[in-house]
Amino acid sequence: MNKTIKNTVFSAMFLALCLVLPLITFGSTQIGNAISPMHIPVLICGFVCGWQYGAIVGLIAPFLRYLIFHMPPIYPIGTAMAFELAAYGILSGILYKIFPKKNKFIYPALIISMLGGRIVWGIVRYIMAGLGGSEFNISMFVAGAFTNAIPAIICHIVIVPLVVMAFKKTGYLKD
Mean pLDDT on 61-81: 95
Condensed to tens digits (0 to 9), the pLDDT of residues 78-89 reads 999 999 999 999
Whether the pLDDT of residue 32 is over 80: the answer is: no
Taking the complete model, does pTM exceed 0.85, yes or no?
Answer: yes
The mean pLDDT value of the chain amounts to 92
Identify the pLDDT of residue 171. Answer: 87
Higher pLDDT, 20 or 175: 20
Mean pLDDT on 63-72: 94
Domains delineated in the chain: 3-170 (1.10.1760.20)
Query: How would you write 35-99 as a 3-class SS string?
Result: HCCCHHHHHHHHHHHCHHHHHHHHHHHHHHHHHHHCCCCHHHHHHHHHHHHHHHHHHHHHHHHHC
